[in-house]
Amino acid sequence: MKLATDTISLSQYLIEEQLKLPYATGDFTALMNHLVYAAKIVSREVRKAGLLENILGSTNNVNVQGETQMKLDEYADTLFTNALRICGHLCVMASEENEGIIEIPSEYKIGKYTFAFDPLDGSSNIDCNVSIGTIFSIHLRKSPHGTKGIESDLLQKGDLQRCAGYILYGSSTMMVMTMGYGVVGFTLDPSCGEFILSHPNIKIPESGSIYSINEGNYDFWSDKVKSYIRKIKNIQNNNKPKTLRYIGSLVADFHRNLLKGGIFLYPEDTKSKNYPLGKLRLLYEASPMAFIAEQAGGMAVTVDGDRILALEPTSLHQRTTLITGSKKEVEFFLEYTKTKNEYSI
């Protein structure tokens, strides 16, 4: 076991990283400190959700995606919004739970960063004590500094992200993030209330035996996706079939595959109202995960093989298909689905 003297907290890490950059102003570090504070409070509420009345279950509200909002969703959304818009370093925000942009109220300082987030992803799992998470993406604004941010400040491709990450409320609470030079993970130590650096350099295994997909949608997939899934399960073709692991919380499914290796797929399905797009949202689900995947040595593409990070967003809640995970697994998916004319095995 590590002694406290060997450890470094997320706040200390951010300050040390800032000191390495002679031109850094400290704005980003301050912004992250507000985010970390909100993450700790949401983690605390998630941990005691079963004990509190009026926090589990759904509200009567339906969010912009047409989904019933859970009470914890709403709580997390309000908490992250309030904690971040006062920090003085954001010019505009966007959340999965809000149709339009979230402006910075005029009483607060306007900053140079944008913040897009999914406050509580995997909401169908909240009521049954299954892992859920928060996902975030930070860009530098495009519009002139000092003015209010606008929607186009948020509509930037993933390649331009300054930072992306997620908070996983799992068997422990973790924050995993990248600032464009590798991926680091911090675990919340509840005894001192600090995120402690627990995973200093996360690399996704080059290949892995796990595949994660909602196989209940099988009949509604394209032939190429059906065939690929049959292929990776087929023992004659493959010696060893892959293992299916699917939670239904992107953060948890992604995190497991990041550490163990494998592939996560959310292709389009014809029964969905979003067809021919996938279910997941580009700005605050696919794009931040793609940044982490690539920084960890993995890949993230659409079913057609386009890099997620190269997609130019055109709307806040734009959807995309997502195939992400170990490099060799994603490469095999692309090779298999592109080179075959007839998809049978």
Residues that bind ligand AHM (CB under 6 A): 67, 96, 118, 121-124, 214, 248-250, 253, 279
| Locus of tokens 């592109």 | 338
As measured in angstroms, the least distance from the Cβ of 67 to ligand AHM is: 5
As measured in angstroms, the least distance from the Cβ of 161 to Mg ion is: 17
Tell me the window of 115-123, 153-161, 165-173, 321-329 that interacts with Mg ion (CB under 5 A). Answer: 115-123
Pairing type for strands 113-121 and 132-140 reads: antiparallel
Q: Does 74 bind Mg ion (CB under 5 A)?
A: no
Q: Which of 74, 77, 121, 194 binds Mg ion (CB under 5 A)?
A: 121
Nearer to Mg ion (CB atom), residue 121 or residue 269: 121
CA 208 vs CA 205, 212, 235, 248, 260: distances in Å: 7, 11, 16, 19, 7
As measured in angstroms, the least distance from the Cβ of 284 to Mg ion is: 7
Nearest Cα residue to 281 out of 95, 105, 25, 54 = 95
As measured in angstroms, the least distance from the Cβ of 124 to ligand AHM is: 6
- Residues 244, 211: contact at Cβ < 8 Å? yes
Partner from ligand AHM, Mg ion, none contacting 323, C-beta within 5 to 8 A by type: none
Q: How many CA atoms lie within 13 A of 148 on its CB side?
A: 10
Partner from ligand AHM, Mg ion, none contacting 143, C-beta within 5 to 8 A by type: none
What's the CA dihedral at 16, 20, 21, 24 to 10 degrees?
Answer: 20
Q: Does 97 bind Mg ion (CB under 5 A)?
A: no
Nearer to ligand AHM (CB atom), residue 198 or residue 272: 272
Task: Report which secondary-structure segment, H or E, holds 165.
Answer: strand 163-169
As measured in angstroms, the least distance from the Cβ of 247 to ligand AHM is: 8
Nearest Cα residue to 296 out of 180, 172, 197 = 180
CA gap 34, 82 in Å, rounded: 10
Nearer to ligand AHM (CB atom), residue 178 or residue 321: 321
Tell me the window of 7-15, 116-124, 206-214, 229-237 that interacts with Mg ion (CB under 5 A). Answer: 116-124
- The binding site for Mg ion (CB under 5 A) comprises 118, 121
